[in-house]
Amino acid sequence: AYSNFGNNRGKSAFFNDRGNANRGSELFSASNTGINFEKYDDIPVEATGQNCPHHIENFQDVDMGEIVMGNIGLSRYTRPTPVQKYAIPIVKSKRDLMACAQTGSGKTAAFLLPILSQIYCEGPGEALNAAKENGKYGRRKQYPISLVLAPTRELALQIYDEARKFSYRSRVRPCVVYGGADIGQQIRDLERGCHLLVATPGRLVDMIERGKIGLDYCNYLVLDEADRMLDMGFEPQIRRIVEQDTMPHKGIRQTMMFSATFPKEIQILARDFLEEYIFLAVGRVGSTSENITQKVVWVEESDKRSFLLDLLSATGETDSLTLVFVETKKGADALEDFLYREGYACTSIHGDRSQRDREEALSQFRSGKCPILVATAVAARGLDISNVKHVINFDLPSDIEEYVHRIGRTGRVGNLGLATSFFNDKNGNITKDLLDILVEAKQEVPSWLESLAYEHQHKSSNRGRSKRFSGGFGARDYRQTAAGGNAGGFGGRGGRNQAGHGGNRGFGGGGFGNFYTSDGYGGNYSHSQVDWWGN
C-alpha cells in the first residue's frame, strides 16, 4: 500500500496523514499574498533549448494528481504565475531546467508542485527499502527523494513552509536543516522520516558527514538562488554534495537551477549539473511603478532621528508596516534602541543577530506586533518582506540598484506605497541615478536635487544611463550566443550586447517596466538583487 505516496483511493491518504484535521487550517491560514497576478500576465517569458514542452495557461492544463490540485486550491492559487506556466510542464516532462527568476515570482511552487506530483505518482521506490534496511542496524539514515538547496535559513524556511502546504494529505514528509540552529533537534526531526529535504549547503554537508543523510536516491535536485549561494562562497559545499557524494549522476536525477542572474559562474555550474536543459528567462515588472510615491528629503545627519520620529508619528495607523534601512549593523542597533526608548514597538534585523533573533524579528514585524523594522540591506535581502506601507531610507545606499530593491518592498499589493529617503552631503554619489529614477517614475523632483545632479554630471562623465538595460530580463541563455556556443568559452562581457538586444526584440515591458541588471550576464551578479516584482 506504500507503493504510492499519493494514495488517493478512498480516504486512506487523508487518514494516514501525520497531522490532524487542524493542521490544514494552520498550514493554509496565512492569508494569500493578495498579489494581483493577473496584472502580471504580460510578463515576458522566454524558453530556449531543444524540444521545449509547451507552456500551460491554467493549473488544470497538466495532470498533477488529486493531492497537488487539492493543495493548490487550499492555497488559493487561482492561476499559475508566468514562471509556473513554463516551469511546471518542463519539470513534469522530466527535463532539466535553468530558470532566471526572482523571489516573488512564484518560483518555489514552480518547482515544488511538479516534483511532488511526480513523487506522489512514482512512490518512494528504493529509498524506502534503504531507510528500512538502515533502520535495522539502528542507524536511521534518511534517504530523501528530493533535495532543495537554498542560500539562507530564511529562504530555506520559506521553501519548507510551501513544501508542507503542497505535501498536505500525502505521505511525503518534508524536512528542513540549516546552520546556526541546534543540530540535535534537526537530527531528531529527520529521524521521523524525510522524503523532501530543504537545506543550506553547510549544514547538509555536516548531516552527510554524520551519516544522517544519504543522497543515493535523490532523484530531484533543486538549487534555489544559485547566484546567491555562490556569492556566499558555498560552491565547494555544493560540489561536495552534488558531485562528490552518492547522489545519482546528472541525466539520471532531474536537476533544476533557479537564479536571479546568469553570470559566468552560474553558467559553469549549469553546464556541470544539468543535462540538455531548458533555459527560462522570466522578465520582471517595473519596480518604481506608479504604485510607489517616492520622496527625497534633505536631512542632515544630526537631524535624522528627530525627522524619523516626525515621519513615524505622521504615519499613525497601527496596522501599517514601516521598514527603515540603515547602513551598518551598529547603526541598526542604535536606532532600534532609540525608537524603543521613544515608545515605538520596533525590532531589527542585521547580520550580527542570531538566527533565532532574526526569525523572531521577522515574524513580529510581519504579524504587526512590531510594525517598525530597522534593517541593514544585506540582512533584508532575499526575504519575503512585503506589504510594507512605508520604506524609509534613513541612510541611502550608494548604488541605485539597491535603492530600487529597497523601495520595491512597498506598493506591492496594488496598494499605494511610500518611500522616503533622507539625503545629505554624504549621498553625492547616487544623485544622478536617483534623479533619473524619479523622473522616469514621474515623481516630484526637489529642485536642489536637480541642481546637485547637474553639478555632479560635470564632475563625472561615465555614469547614469550607461548601466541601463532595456530587455526586462535578468539574463539570456548563453548557449544562444556565439561565445556560449564555443565550448568552454563563456561569453564574459560579450553578454552585455546580447542582453541589450532583448529590448529591441520587444520583450521589455516598456516605460519603467525595465530595470537594471548586473553588467549583462558576464558581469558582477552580486549587485543584481532586484526581484521579479522589481524589488
Residues engaged in binding ligand AMP (CB under 6 A):
33, 37, 77, 79-81, 84, 103-109, 384
CA of residue 103 relative to chain centroid, distance: 3
Closest CA to 392 of 324, 472, 293: 324
Q: How far is the CB of 302 from ligand AMP (least distance, A)?
A: 40
Q: How far is the CB of 107 from ligand AMP (least distance, A)?
A: 5
> Quick check: 56 and 80 in contact, CB under 8 A?
yes
Nearest to ligand AMP of 108, 376 (CB atom): 108
- Under DSSP, the state recorded for 410 is B
Q: How far is the CB of 161 from ligand AMP (least distance, A)?
A: 9
Q: Give buried/exposed letters for 230-239 (b at 16+ CB in 10 A, else e).
A: bbbebbebbe
C-alpha pair distances (Å), 72 with each of 29, 34, 64, 265: 13, 15, 10, 35
Give the span between the Cα atoms of 4 and 324, in whole angstroms.
49
At 289, list the grid cell.
Answer: 511603478
Nearest to ligand AMP of 360, 384 (CB atom): 384
Nearest to ligand AMP of 383, 437 (CB atom): 383
Q: Using H for helix, E for strand and C for coil, what is the string for 221-276?
A: EEECCHHHHHHCCCHHHHHHHHHCCCCCCECCEEEEEEECCCCHHHHHHHHHHCCC
Q: How far is the CB of 163 from ligand AMP (least distance, A)?
A: 11
Nearest to ligand AMP of 101, 435 (CB atom): 101
Nearest to ligand AMP of 34, 489 (CB atom): 34
Give the span between the Cα atoms of 249 and 221, in whole angstroms.
11
Nearest to ligand AMP of 103, 167 (CB atom): 103
Nearest to ligand AMP of 260, 308 (CB atom): 260
Give the span between the Cα atoms of 25 and 7, in whole angstroms.
22
3-state secondary structure of 160: helix
3-state secondary structure of 331: helix
3-state secondary structure of 300: coil
- Under DSSP, the state recorded for 63 is -
Closest CA to 98 of 228, 222, 249: 222
> Quick check: 234 and 151 in contact, CB under 8 A?
yes
Nearest to ligand AMP of 228, 432 (CB atom): 228
Contacts of 373 (CB under 8 A, 6+ apart): 321, 322, 323, 324, 346, 347, 348, 349, 361, 362, 365, 385
Q: How far is the CB of 81 from ligand AMP (least distance, A)?
A: 5
Q: How far is the CB of 371 from ligand AMP (least distance, A)?
A: 20
Q: How far is the CB of 40 from ligand AMP (least distance, A)?
A: 10
Residue with cell 541611502: 396
Nearest to ligand AMP of 159, 208 (CB atom): 159
Nearest to ligand AMP of 79, 140 (CB atom): 79
Q: How far is the CB of 406 from ligand AMP (least distance, A)?
A: 18
What length does the chain have?
A: 535
Closest CA to 39 of 534, 414, 409: 414
Nearest to ligand AMP of 84, 410 (CB atom): 84
Q: How far is the CB of 72 from ligand AMP (least distance, A)?
A: 8
Q: How far is the CB of 511 from ligand AMP (least distance, A)?
A: 23
Of all residues in the chain, what percent are helix, strand and coil, respectively (each to 5)? 45, 15, 40
> Quick check: 496 and 520 in contact, CB under 8 A?
yes
**Element (H or E) spanning 148, and its range?**
strand 146-149
Q: How far is the CB of 358 from ligand AMP (least distance, A)?
A: 18
Q: How far is the CB of 169 from ligand AMP (least distance, A)?
A: 18
Q: How far is the CB of 105 from ligand AMP (least distance, A)?
A: 5
Nearest to ligand AMP of 79, 304 (CB atom): 79
- Under DSSP, the state recorded for 277 is P
Give one DSSP letter per residue of 82-144, joined into a string. HHHHHHHHHHHTT--EEEE--TTSSHHHHHHHHHHHHHHHH--THHHHHHHHHHHTT---B--
Nearest to ligand AMP of 81, 254 (CB atom): 81
Beta strands 45-48 and 278-282 are antiparallel
298 — phi, psi (to 5°)? Answer: -80, 115
Contacts of 354 (CB under 8 A, 6+ apart): 180
